[in-house]
Amino acid sequence: MTITRINIGPVHPSTHGVLRLVVDIEGDTIVKVEPHIGYLHRGVEKLAETRMYMQIPPYTEKLDYVAPMSYDDAYVAAVEAALGVDVKERAQYVRVILLELQRIASHLFGIGAMCNDMGQMFTVFMWGFKDRDIVLKLLEDATGSRMFYVNMRLGGLVRDLPPGFEDEALEKLDYIDRRIKEYESYLEKNSIFMERTKGIGVLDTEAAINLGITGPPLRASGVDYDVRKNNPYYVYEKLHFSPMVLYSSDNFARYKIKIMEIKESIRLVREAFRLMPEGDALGMPVKLRSPDTKNRIVRVSRELPRGECVMYMVGDQQKPYRLSIRSPNFINLAALDEMSRGGRIADLFATMGSLDLVMGCVDR
């Protein structure tokens, strides 16, 4: 049979932004998938070299616009490491709470988008959006803005959690918990959903490790690796946290791991609220710190909702000399060819949805 080459994207309903795929198909079977990226390149790494340290978080958090808080935290943690600042204990708890809330919001979006890619008429997508909005409202209460927070400061946060936040958050999390069970019963009793996810887009453990993918796709391939556990930061050591691992390596595992992580995050937030000490969580004001970088080169690793982000920063007096970001999505995208080769063209999009790509993060 002849091999047809079709071009998908960069403007296409389910390429999660501006991903362009050049796909070789033989009949209905995929021979090769070649991602072409760079349509959303904003030069954040280069831009960072021209800004002062605490002017950069607004740029880094726009990399992953579905989970901005995580990038905010990853960058500020790199600066903290470079300047040798310790984070206050209450601030550590608050950060964990906010990051886990952000993870819940991001995963809800990811599940909805994946169902949308499988041809579900936006219903689960809109459900995910509605529930995500409840979490975003919590984050808005805590930080003052709904989407791009810029809430981290050196050694702490811009503002402590508002009074009454804990009760409201716990109540909302109970609701999310119930909704997650609804999602599970709706999706996993749906034979078409199960059929289109089970055994599709398999990425075996060895390939997953060799490709260097991280985050939920890696854990769905049976590798017990989570930065929160293997290289713990903040108070993750004190909380009872264990990474979620599944071994079936297919689209279903990648969906299921998101559901499991949402449940685990809800549990983590509840526990963090219980253990959180009283005290001060405020960070240093932006301009009061004169930057005398003790550690010239720092490498900070954080578990983002989509995988491991590494901030590699060479510090300088006023601003970073060089900032290099290991984007989890960029590496995970490389696995798309391996996952979808030999599969059907219709499953390419489901597989892409299961990877939960954000193109802003891929292109940086």
Partner 1 sequence: MTDEIANFIPSLLASPSLLYNVIGLVIYAVVVAIIFSLFSYVMGWLERKIIAKAQYRHGPTYVGKWGIFQNLADLVKLLSKEEIELDNADRLLFMAGIPLLVAAAIFTIFLLPLSPTMQATNLSFGILLVFVIIAFTPILLFIAAFSSGNKFADISAQRSVLILFSYEIPMILVIAAIALLAKGYNIQDIVGAQSPYYFAVLMPLGLVIMFIGMLAELERHPFDLREADSELIAGWLTDVSAPYYALALFLDYARVFMGSVLMAILFFGGWLGPPMIPLPGLFWLILKAFLIGIFIIFIRATAFRMRIDRVLRFGWSWLVPLSIINLIITYIIFVR
- Is 121 or 288 the residue whose CB approaches partner 1 more closely? 121
Cβ atoms of residues 328 and 306 within 8 Å? yes
Q: Judged by CB under 8 A, does residue 324 bind partner 1? A: no
* Near partner 1 in 258-297, by CB under 8 A: none
Among 30, 251, 349, 363, binds partner 1 (CB under 8 A): 349
Q: Which stretch binds partner 1 (CB under 8 A): 54-62, 168-176, 217-225, 342-350?
A: 342-350
* Near partner 1 in 12-41, by CB under 8 A: 12-14, 28
- Is 180 or 300 the residue whose CB approaches partner 1 more closely? 180
CB of 114 to partner 1, least distance (A): 10
Q: Judged by CB under 8 A, does residue 4 bind partner 1? A: yes
Among 190, 231, 248, 324, binds partner 1 (CB under 8 A): 190
CB of 125 to partner 1, least distance (A): 8
Q: Judged by CB under 8 A, does residue 198 bind partner 1? A: no
* Near partner 1 in 128-147, by CB under 8 A: 130
* Near partner 1 in 99-128, by CB under 8 A: 115-123, 125-127
Q: Which stretch binds partner 1 (CB under 8 A): 9-17, 206-214, 298-306, 316-324?
A: 9-17
Q: Which stretch binds partner 1 (CB under 8 A): 52-60, 188-196, 215-223, 293-301?
A: 188-196
Q: How far is CA 114 from the centre of its chain?
A: 15
CB of 175 to partner 1, least distance (A): 14
* Near partner 1 in 301-320, by CB under 8 A: none
Among 338, 347, 356, 363, binds partner 1 (CB under 8 A): 347
Q: Judged by CB under 8 A, does residue 6 bind partner 1? A: yes
User: For residue 46, how many other CB atoms are within 10 A of its CB?
Assistant: 11
CB of 134 to partner 1, least distance (A): 12
Contact residues: partner 1, CB under 8 A: 4, 6, 12-14, 28, 115-123, 125-127, 130, 190, 192-193, 195-196, 344-349
